[in-house]
Amino acid sequence: MIVDSHCHLDFPDFAPDIDAVVERARTAGVGTMLTICTHVSRFPGVLAMAERFPDVWCTVGIHPHEAANEAEVDAETLVRLTENPRVVGLGETGLDYFYDNSPREAQRRSFRAHLAAGRLSGLPVVIHTRDADADTAAILREEREKGPFKALLHCFSSGKDLADLAVEMGLYVSMSGILTFPKAEDVRTAIADVPLDRLLVETDAPFLAPTPKRGKRNEPALVVHTAAKLAEVKGVAVEALWAATTDNFFTLFDKCARPTGSAPQTDGTV
């Protein structure tokens, strides 16, 4: 099996055919999907998806685009929202200086609150960062000094310095369909030295459909194309890439139950 570690199944793009979307994912070999919260105010709809499908789990958090639009929440409030057994992580949170849809200081406050919630709960934090590598790195270092947390740089499109910092801090890096784009050579170079045991794959559906489906609505079934490209970049067999990224997901999101019959590798090889 393979895992889609980041999608948005509650988005209206999927409302007309959500059952078919999930079934196509299963047929493609996607055994687990993580649907990601972007608005705390819409969290009930995100949670409903995780409660509707046994192979779907969810997070709770505020996207940096919404940091000034959503009511500001503290770490303790976020932790309380993770008490449902279907909630296995926090976010997505982080910094987006490309669009600047929310003031940067509001983004930074929200980011720190999510990392604090990660320390309190022990759950991983899903981090979005775009055109904000320096501030993201600085906040990660400052917050780590207050205590450990688990985290994932999702939809990685940053530079090698941030990838190296993630490895140094024991964080994970997730690759989206961007990895397959012809002009994304910088991304492929940046993750070349990221160890296989720190990598995940995702769709970010309904966005960023991978080649050869670029331009269409993305969905979890298409994560297999990103996985194939990542296997090529890392120089491993596709089957080994599926096994490694699946194991990595359940190591990081350890509140998420692994499907029966999807045993982790035990011989130390990939």
Tell me the helices (H) and strands (E) count for the chain, helix number first: 9, 8
Long-range contacts of 258-262 (CB under 8 A, 24+ apart): 258/32, 259/1, 259/31, 259/32, 259/55, 262/1, 262/31
Given the structure tokens 């990838």, which residue do they identify? 163
114 assigned to a ligand binding site = no
204 assigned to a ligand binding site = yes
Angstrom distance (rounded) from CA 158 to CA 165: 11
Angstrom distance (rounded) from CA 74 to CA 114: 8
63 assigned to a ligand binding site = no
Evaluate whether 233 touches 188 at the Cβ level (below 8 Å). Answer: yes
Angstrom distance (rounded) from CA 45 to CA 267: 40
- List phi, psi (to 5°) of 91: 110, -175
Evaluate whether 248 touches 197 at the Cβ level (below 8 Å). Answer: yes
Angstrom distance (rounded) from CA 241 to CA 230: 8
Three-state DSSP class for residue 11: coil
Three-state DSSP class for residue 94: strand
6 assigned to a ligand binding site = yes
Going along the chain, which residue ranges are E strands?
2-7, 30-35, 56-60, 87-96, 125-130, 151-153, 172-175, 199-201
Binding residues for a divalent metal cation, by number, are 6, 8, 92, 128, 154, 204
Binding residues, by number, are 6, 8, 92, 128, 154, 204
